[in-house]
Structure 1
Amino acid sequence: MASLTTSAIVCAVRAHGEHGAILRALTPEVGLVAGYVRGGRSTRLRPILVPGNLVALELRARTEEQLASATAELLASRAPLLAEPLPAAAIDWVTSLTAATLPESQPYPALYTGLSAVLEAIEVAQAARLWAAALARYELLLLAELGFGLGLDECVVTGSPDDLDFVSPKSGGAVGAGAASGYEERLFRLPPFLRGQDAGPSMADVLDGLTITGHFIDRDLLDGRNRDLLVVRERLTGRLKRAVA
C-alpha cells in the first residue's frame, strides 16, 4: 500500500512526538490501517481524530514497511455522543476492540459495514437495547471473521436445529433444551436475536448476548491479556445493567 485514498472509521489515536499522532482506522478496502498525522494534536485536528468519526483518509508511504503519513478530513462526527455516558462507553469499546484485534492491511469489508451500522445505531436508536443488540451482533461477526465463529445453527450434542436455548462456554456451540437438561447452570442462555430470530430483543436478552460474546472475545481474541480493554467493556455492560435496574 504505497498510497490510499478512502473513507475510514477512526478507531484509535495515540500521541506521537510533541505535536503528531498515530491514527489507526478501519477502511472498506484494506481493513485496518495506521498512519502518522502531522499536527494530529492540534486544535484543528483533535476534533477530527476522534474514535467513531468517519473521515476522508489519505495515506502515503514510500515503502510497504514504512509507517505511512496520513491526512484526514471530517465526513461525519460522532463527537457529540461522547458527552453521553452510555454512547460514549459503547463507542470507546467497539472502536478500541476493533483496533486491538484486527491485523493491519487485511480486508474485512463485512466488519467495516458492521462497525458502520453499530455507530449509526448508537447515533439514531431511541433505546439503548437496540444499539446494544447491534453491538452484540458485531462482536459475534468479529469472532467469526477472525476464525472463532460460534456454532449457533444446531445443537452441538444432537445436531438438531430445534429448541436451541443455550451455548456451551467451552465449545461455543449451541445446546438444545433437551440436551441441556440438568446442566443449565453451566451454560449460557442463548437469546434468539443472536440467531437472527428476534428484531426487537429485550435488554435482558441483549445482556445475555453480550455475556456470550464477551466470554469468547476474552478467551479467544484477547486471551485475558488486555485488562485495560476489558475494563472498558465492563464499564459499558455495567452502565447497560444500571440503565434497566
Structure 2
Amino acid sequence: MEWQDEGIVLSASRFGEHDALLELMTRSHGRARGYVKAGMSRKNKANLQVGNRLSVNWRARIETNLGRFTHELIHSPLGLMMGDGNRISALSAITAVVASTMPERESHEGLFDRLEAVVGLLQEHDGDIALWAGALAKLELAILKELGYGLDLSACAGTGATENLKYVSPKTGRAVSEEAGGPYKGKLLPLPPFMTEGELSGASKHHALDGLRTTGYFLERNVWVVSGKGMPPARDRFISTLARAAQS
C-alpha cells in the first residue's frame, strides 16, 4: 500500500531511539500518521516542525499498519513567527484542534484548504491575536460541519429572522435573535458578528473569546467527551493568552 500527498504537520514526537512519529493533515488522505526513519536527526527534526508543509510518500505492507513516511519540505512558516509568542501559541492551538477532532484516514479536502488558509494568515505581518483567534473559531465551525455537527446560524430558531442574531441555542445549535433570546440569554451561547457576517478582521478580542466559547462547547459535547481526551491543552493556553490580552 502506497500513496503520495501534501500535508501540514500537526505533531511529531520521538518514536524509538532515533525515529519520529509524524502526524499530518493531508489534502487527499485526511489526518494521517506514520513514522519517519531517523526523524530525530537535526535535519529531519527541523523539517517536522508543527505547521510545516511537506510533500510525503506513505508506504506500508498492509493498509491498517502504521506505515512509513518519506518527505520533502515545501514550506516552513516558522521563520516569520519566531520571536512572536502569540503567533506560535495560535499555531499550536490550531494544529492541536485539528489533530484532536478529525478522524484518521478520511479525506476532508475542504478542511485541509481551511487549515492551509489559517496557517497562511499567521504569516501576515499585520495580524493580531484577535484575528488569529477568530480564524480558529471559524475553523472550528468548519470542523463541526465536516463531522456532521454543523451549527445552523442562518436564521433565528424562534422567529425566522435573519438579522440581529446574537445567540446560539446550546440544545439545538441554531441561532437566536436578540429579541427572541433576551429573556433566556443567561442560558444561551454568544454569537459574535464575525461568525455570521462582516469581516474576520473586524473581530475584537472579546468577540473572538465568545466565538471560541461557543465552538468549544459543541466540540466538547460532540467530539472531545466522546474521545475521552478533552480539549487540547494548547487550545486552553491560547485562550488564556487571549483573555489576558482582552483585559489589558
- Measure how far apart 1:158 and its partner are: 2.6
Tell me if the contact between 2:4 and 2:56 (Cα under 8 Å) persists in the aligned partners. Answer: yes
Q: Which residue of 1 aligns with 2:95?
A: 95
Q: Which residue of 1 aligns with 2:59?
A: 60
- Measure how far apart 1:170 and its partner are: 2.3
What pairs up with 1:209-220 in 2 under 5 angstroms? 209-220=211-222
Provide the aligned C-alpha RMSD in A.
1.7
In structure 1, C-alpha distance between the alignment counterparts of 2:125 and 2:168, rounded to whole Å: 28
- Measure how far apart 1:169 and its partner are: 2.1
1:123 aligns with 2:123: yes
Q: Which residue of 2 aligns with 1:145?
A: 146
In structure 2, C-alpha distance between the alignment counterparts of 1:116 and 1:45, rounded to whole Å: 22
Tell me if the contact between 2:58 and 2:68 (Cα under 8 Å) persists in the aligned partners. Answer: yes
Q: Which residue of 2 aligns with 1:160?
A: 161
Alignment partner of 2:229 out of 206, 226, 230 = 226
Structure 2 unaligned runs (5+)?
A: none
1:27 aligns with 2:26: yes
Q: Provide the secondary structure at the position in 2 that maps to 1:45.
A: helix
1:85 aligns with 2:85: yes
Q: Provide the secondary structure at the position in 2 that maps to 1:44.
A: helix
Q: Which of 95-104 and 19-28 deviates more?
A: 95-104
Relative distance call for 1:21 and 1:190 in structure 2 (3 A) is same
Tell me if the contact between 1:125 and 1:131 (Cα under 8 Å) persists in the aligned partners. Answer: no
Q: Provide the secondary structure at the position in 2 that maps to 1:223.
A: helix
Q: What letter corresponds to residue 182 of structure 2 in structure 1?
A: S
Tell me if the contact between 1:56 and 1:73 (Cα under 8 Å) persists in the aligned partners. Answer: yes
The one-character-per-residue Cα deviations of 1:92-121 (angstroms, maximum 9, x if unpaired) are 111122122211221101110110111111
What pairs up with 1:66-81 in 2 under 5 angstroms? 66-80=65-79, 81=81
In structure 2, C-alpha distance between the alignment counterparts of 1:175 and 1:144, rounded to whole Å: 19
Q: What letter corresponds to residue 112 of structure 1 in structure 2?
A: F
Q: What letter corresponds to residue 206 of structure 1 in structure 2?
A: A
In structure 2, C-alpha distance between the alignment counterparts of 1:184 and 1:101, rounded to whole Å: 29
Q: What letter corresponds to residue 95 of structure 1 in structure 2?
A: T
- Measure how far apart 1:191 and its partner are: 1.1
Q: What letter corresponds to residue 206 of structure 2 in structure 1?
A: A
Tell me if the contact between 2:205 and 2:245 (Cα under 8 Å) persists in the aligned partners. Answer: no
Q: Which runs of structure 1 show a deviation greater than 6 angstroms over 4 or more consecutive aligned residues?
A: none
Structure 1 unaligned runs (5+)?
A: none
Task: Give TM-score, length-normalised by structure 2.
Answer: 0.91
In structure 2, C-alpha distance between the alignment counterparts of 1:82 and 1:31, rounded to whole Å: 28
In structure 1, C-alpha distance between the alignment counterparts of 2:211 and 2:170, rounded to whole Å: 13
Task: Give TM-score, length-normalised by structure 1.
Answer: 0.92
Aligned sequence identity (%)? 35
Q: Which residue of 1 aligns with 2:105?
A: 105
- Measure how far apart 1:125 and its partner are: 4.8
In structure 1, C-alpha distance between the alignment counterparts of 2:22 and 2:83, rounded to whole Å: 22
- Measure how far apart 1:68 and its partner are: 1.5
Tell me if the contact between 1:166 and 1:177 (Cα under 8 Å) persists in the aligned partners. Answer: yes
Relative distance call for 1:141 and 1:82 in structure 2 (3 A) is farther
Relative distance call for 1:230 and 1:69 in structure 2 (3 A) is closer
